[in-house]
Amino acid sequence: MILAKDSENTISDAKDYTYEDAEKEEPNAAIFSKDDLSITGSGKLIVNANFNHGIFSKNQLVITSGSFDITSQNDGLKGKDGIAIADGTFTINAQGDGMQASESQEESKGWVYIEAGTFHITSQGDGIQAETNLEISDGTFDITTGGGSQNASIKSDWGRWGPQDQTSTSEDTTSAKGIKSGKDMIISKGTYTFDTSDDAIHTNASMDIKDGTYTIQSGDDGIHADETLTVEKGSMDIKKSYEGIEGNQIVIQGGDIQVVSSDDGLNAAGGNDGSSMNGRPGQNTFSSSDSDVSITITGGNIYVNASGDGLDSNGNLYIKGGSVIVDGPQDSGNGALDYDGTCEITGGTLIAAGMSGMAQMPSDTSSQASVMITFDQTQSENTLISLMQDNDLIIAYAPSKKFNNIVISTPSLTKDKTYSIQSGGTISGLESKKAITEGTINNASTLGSFTLSDMATSISQDGTSVQAGMNQPQGKPGGDKEMGGPGGHGM
């Protein structure tokens, strides 16, 4: 199909079809092909699919260019074996999925590949769904699903996720994810805006985000991978989520990442989750063991504002570089840091503020020193906490929420050196969500001083030691920690 230059073409079908063979139900789209379908040209195509799908190929759907305005009662674009888009402008309003590749019986099919383009997708189902692999090289995407993030589902019939159940999902009418794949996903770059009732970006396998700009409002997870989730670089602003970034193994190598979550900010989970109070419908079940589970941060600037755990790993937590700041929970049922194995810091900067009830600090096997300070009273939000050495500033931060516990690790902390703790005051150049390491603190109160006697030192605000081990992994009431969202559901 060629869309002629400067042309505007409209195709509309009826609301009801009559079939000679009712079992086949073909055709079932305003534009339907039993074989490969290719569309090119610079013209415009308007599709009003009043019965079912907009454009459907039973083999591959290939679009190289053009402008598309599609309204459909089911899926907007559908290529059973695969969808390949080189470029184009797409406005899709779909009662089903915005775009879907549905073949699940052959691993070499059911893929989606997008090289470039501009996409405005509003769907009741998934925005873009690949039954197998999904790859996006570039493009601009504005995706709204399921009525948006305000419609987060809590229905008990939303199923469990995980690699142990890889049955076909093409008939799953409840899934309303932004971008979804059944197998591996690669996103190279692009600009993405999501407002989704379900996960914004989801794979039942591994995900590699190489670059890009992401603005996310999600009723469930911001970004989720059942297996390994890797972020190489990019800008991510997860403004709203149940859990911000979730995977069996989370690897962050760089980027500027901000997460706001009503539960965990970063969550690495394996086995059977169940961390929320009394459990919740649809919690995820994963086939991996907790020994495989980890969060590894080697670079980037990460800020987490979590009502649940800030960084939560059912296994190990490794910080090797970058800057990690956590404004954690304001209750004692969760912690700014939560891990079941070890937490090793070998580089970078960590500040994690929250309440002391479930507080944990890095392991004493770390090669970079850390200190955990527990205050006598709850500190108000935006209270500046500073570590000083001989009147020189080591680091200062003002948590955005109330807190009575803070963990600090920076390369400037040295074992057997003496430091003082200051509270309050002002300093020029202080920004929200960021620590500061240079400048003069004015009008602060000195609470106490301490000598960093171990690689992981726990003290009260006056500098006296807190019993070693009291804040190390103990597990939560109710057993394993949870993975998933308020309507935890998968493909």
- The answer to whether the CB of 34 falls within 8 A of the CB of 14 is no
The values of phi and psi at residue 291, to 5°, are -65, -20
pLDDT for position 104? 87
Instruction: Tell me the β-bridge partners of 306.
Output: 261
Distance CA 214, CA 107 (A): 29
Instruction: Determine the longest span between alpha carbons in the chain, in angstroms.
Output: 89
pLDDT in tens, 70-121: 999 999 999 999 999 999 999 999 999 999 999 988 889 999 999 999 999 9
Which has the closest alpha carbon to 217: 193, 234, 233, 235? 193
pLDDT of residue 286: 52
Residue environment code for 39-70, b if the CB has 16+ CB neighbours within 10 A, otherwise e: bbbebbbebebebbbbbbbbbbbbbebbbbbb
Cα–Cα dist 442/439, whole Å: 10
Q: What tens digit of pLDDT does each residue of 1-51 get? A: 999 999 999 999 999 998 877 677 889 999 999 999 999 999 999 999 999
Q: Cis link prior to 27 (omega < 30° from 0)? A: yes
pLDDT value of position 142: 99
The answer to whether the CB of 59 falls within 8 A of the CB of 36 is: yes
Contact 485, 219 (CB under 8 A): yes
Q: What is the mean pLDDT of the chain?
A: 89
Position 467 scores a pLDDT of 64
Q: Is the pLDDT of residue 169 over 80?
A: no
To the question of pTM greater than 0.95 for the whole model, the response is no
What are 223's two structure tokens? 């970004």
pLDDT 10s digits, 268-323 = 995 433 333 333 333 444 544 556 899 999 999 999 999 999 999 999 999 999 99
Residue in 325, 326, 366, 378 with CA at minimum distance from that of residue 349: 325
pLDDT in tens, 214-242: 999 999 999 999 999 999 999 999 999 99
Residue 385 has pLDDT above 60, yes or no: yes
